Amino acid sequence: MKAPAEAKNQSLVRGLKILEAYTAAKQSWGIRELGRELDINAATTYRLVSTLAGRGYLEQNRETQKYHLGPKVVQLAANYSTQNSLIEISFRLFAKYEKAFPYNFYIGVMNSNEVIYVAVYESRGPLKITTEPGQSVSLYSSALGKLLLSNESDAFIKALLAEKPIERITPLTVTNEKELMRQIREIRKLGYAVNRGEIYEEIASVATPIRGPDGAVIAGLSLSFPIHYLDTKKLDLEEIISLGQTIADEISTMNRRTVIR
């Protein structure tokens, strides 16, 4: 649920937007370019950046005068990983199943209008997509995103689409809202989602739900693999779906026991 506009602290929101502007693709910002990117005047941007730097969330490169993320962010990320049993449990199970599935494993959670990866276990096989925990992926075009969206109401999804329309990422990306909603309804019936080349043309993935102690979906598990393996029969889609459901159920059970303790 979104907070009413009047309840928002604008300075805090702007400070958070500054931190969120730092991505794998853009790791440093100058004051003026950051202000232009976020539509914040230079004086306000400088004040906010200086405050964040003073608290250790940003650091300034003395040579370029640009700012990058500081050690406080690393500390927060480490604290999050430590307190989130889901991450540690997931890595243990990924290692257990890597011989059965030597490709990529992901755990993702829904955050605003995107999916954030909280755990990534990279392929030991031929699939090489470098992804780091903390990176985001489309809600509309990924198996994880569609799976997580399927647990939201139609009204919520339509409001989200009005706020952030679907972006075409590859020629295979589904951009028609009616088709997306049809897929969402199918995922609700099946209990899993399949993506075929909508994020990367050569990659397919299967996503299954991870549930909390009350049975509610708290995250999604994604298994990604080369899409042509389906055509060449090197991989069987039904077997991958079954494996994904097995791993997700094990993660859910182990996480539930940890939370209850």
Kindly report the pTM of this predicted structure: 0.72
Does 84-260 match 5-72 at the fold level?
Answer: no
Q: What is the pLDDT of residues 132-161, one digit of tens each?
A: 777 888 899 999 999 999 999 999 999 999
Q: What is the pLDDT of residues 209-226, one digit of tens each?
A: 999 888 899 999 999 999
Average pLDDT, the chain: 86
The span from the CA of 245 to the CA of 197, in Å, is: 21
Closest CA to 115 of 67, 75, 158, 152: 152
Q: Is 84-260 in CATH node 3.30.450.40?
A: yes
Closest CA to 251 of 114, 100, 99, 105: 105
Would you list the domain boundaries of the chain?
5-72, 84-260
Q: What tokens does 92 get?
A: 């243990």
More confident call, 208 vs 1: 208
Per DSSP, which regions of the chain are E strands?
58-60, 67-69, 104-111, 114-121, 136-138, 193-196, 203-211, 217-226
pLDDT at 141: 92
What's the CATH code, domain 5-72? 1.10.10.10
Residue 240's pLDDT band (cuts 50, 70, 90): very high
Which of the 8 DSSP states describes residue 150?
T
The span from the CA of 106 to the CA of 133, in Å, is: 9
The stretch 194-221 carries a mean pLDDT of: 92
The stretch 159-185 carries a mean pLDDT of: 93
248 φ, ψ to 5°? -60, -40
pLDDT at 3: 40
